[in-house]
Amino acid sequence: MADAADLIAPDEAEALPTAIDLREEYNKSGVAEVLAELDRELIGLKPVKQRIREIAAMLIVERARKAMGLSHETPTLHMNFAGNPGTGKTTVALRMANILHRLGYVRKGHLVSVTRDDLVGQYIGHTAPKTKEILKRAMGGVLFIDEAYYLYRPDNERDYGQEAIEILLQVMENNREDLVVILAGYADRMDKFFESNPGFRSRIAHHIEFPDYSEAELLQIADGMLKQQTYHFDEEAHGLMQRYIRLRRQQPHFANARSIRNALDRARLRQANRLFSTATGPVTAEELSTITAEDLKVSRVFTMGIPDGQAEEGA
């Protein structure tokens, strides 16, 4: 069997490298910096981060094969991010776009994030131009479709989502060297979506599960969010926040890090009102930066009988 050098012209063979240091390619690409940034930005998610590293390694090997004149084919890179809200899917998609750009698999490396409303029209002839405009914007980068299962509504005969799906499938197949599509949503709903749309399943190469955060990870996330805004808990508030997380995770519409961010926003609101209403003179930087137990304990999460659907709103 002929080797790689026999398949190309002699002058071209001389220009091809005979060996490539993969670790050096990894360092030169800047992918290590992107992955380190991902580690700093997101607590936990070890299986997700490991899968991203594995994909990056595969792409570096494919690039090395191309540089050495070996048989290669642009890998299918469309992905499915399955998990509950607030588990970092959009952040990981942004970093994935950056990695793909640094390794030369997309031209621009930008992320276009959309939902059903951005793709599906409300009357005949409206869906195709909407979908094609979004695809035009996303070309050379990554198209992130959140809650992708809403594209398909089999119970509504007049729904135009199927038209958007057919256009997406065609572009995903024909333009896979210039566009990566990432579908995202709840794991169980995404499974049903793929069952109803086998064309999508056959085009998705990477299915990545995003686990919920543990209580300890959520507390670490809360501390990190406050630190970014130069706030901190006092000792009592820190313990109360841990209890808040334990209770909140058991209540409706919990959205992981997103719910923690909302809770901290409300705590800062209460802190501001507390300081404004009780201060009789100048306040110190420490007072302006401290979240106390008083700012947390009035949360409805600590009361019993919260009606379904009101936990996030009234937390």
181 and 73 both lie in a single domain = yes
Confidence check: pLDDT of 308 > 60: no
227 and 200 both lie in a single domain = no
pLDDT in tens, 271-286: 999 999 988 889 999 9
187 and 296 both lie in a single domain = no
* Amino acid 164: pLDDT: 94
The last residue of one of the domains, among 162, 190, 210, is: 210
- pTM, two decimals, is 0.85
179 and 265 both lie in a single domain = no
Tokens matching residue 143: 């198209």
pLDDT band, residue 123 (cuts 50/70/90): confident
* Amino acid 315: pLDDT: 57
* Amino acid 213: pLDDT: 96
197 and 173 both lie in a single domain = yes
Going from the C-alpha of 266 to that of each of 205, 224, 297, the distances in angstroms are: 41, 16, 12
Is the pLDDT higher at 210 or at 9? 210
pLDDT band, residue 1 (cuts 50/70/90): very low
131 and 236 both lie in a single domain = no
Confidence check: pLDDT of 231 > 70: yes
* Amino acid 307: pLDDT: 42
95 and 63 both lie in a single domain = yes
- Residue 159 sits in a domain whose CATH number is 3.40.50.300
- Please provide the DSSP assignment of 37-96 as one string: HHHHHSS--HHHHHHHHHHHHHHHHHHHHHHTT----PPP--EEEEE-TTSSHHHHHHHH
**Rounded mean pLDDT of 207-224?**
97
77 and 144 both lie in a single domain = yes
* Amino acid 128: pLDDT: 94
pLDDT in tens, 8-27: 555 554 578 888 888 888 88
The last residue of one of the domains, among 179, 210, 241, is: 210
202 and 221 both lie in a single domain = no
Task: Please state whether beta strands 142-146 and 180-185 pair in parallel, antiparallel, or not at all (unpaired).
Answer: parallel
* Amino acid 11: pLDDT: 52
* Amino acid 309: pLDDT: 42
Confidence check: pLDDT of 63 > 70: yes
pLDDT in tens, 168-205: 999 999 998 899 999 999 999 999 999 988 889 889 99
24 and 93 both lie in a single domain = yes
* Amino acid 252: pLDDT: 87
Residue 127 to residue 231: CA distance in whole angstroms: 46
The last residue of one of the domains, among 185, 210, 235, is: 210
- Ranking 143-147, 247-251, 305-309 by mean pLDDT, the lowest is 305-309
Residues 96, 51 contacting (CB under 8 angstroms): no
* Average pLDDT over the chain, rounded to an integer: 89
pLDDT band, residue 66 (cuts 50/70/90): confident
97 and 244 both lie in a single domain = no
Q: How many domains are contained in the chain?
A: 2
Domain that holds residue 230: 215-314
**Which three-class secondary structure state does DSSP give residue 159?**
coil
**Which three-class secondary structure state does DSSP give residue 182?**
strand
141 and 232 both lie in a single domain = no
**Rounded mean pLDDT of 2-10?**
50
pLDDT in tens, 30-46: 999 999 999 988 999 99
Question: Judging by beta carbons within 10 Å of its beta carbon (0-12, 13-18, 19+), is residue 238 exposed, middle or buried?
Answer: middle
Residues 241, 233 contacting (CB under 8 angstroms): yes
304-312 long-range contacts (CB < 8 A, ≥24 apart) are 306/251, 306/252, 308/252, 309/252, 309/253, 311/248, 311/251, 311/252, 311/253, 311/254, 312/252, 312/253, 312/254, 312/255, 312/259, 312/262
* Maximum pairwise Cα distance, the chain: 88
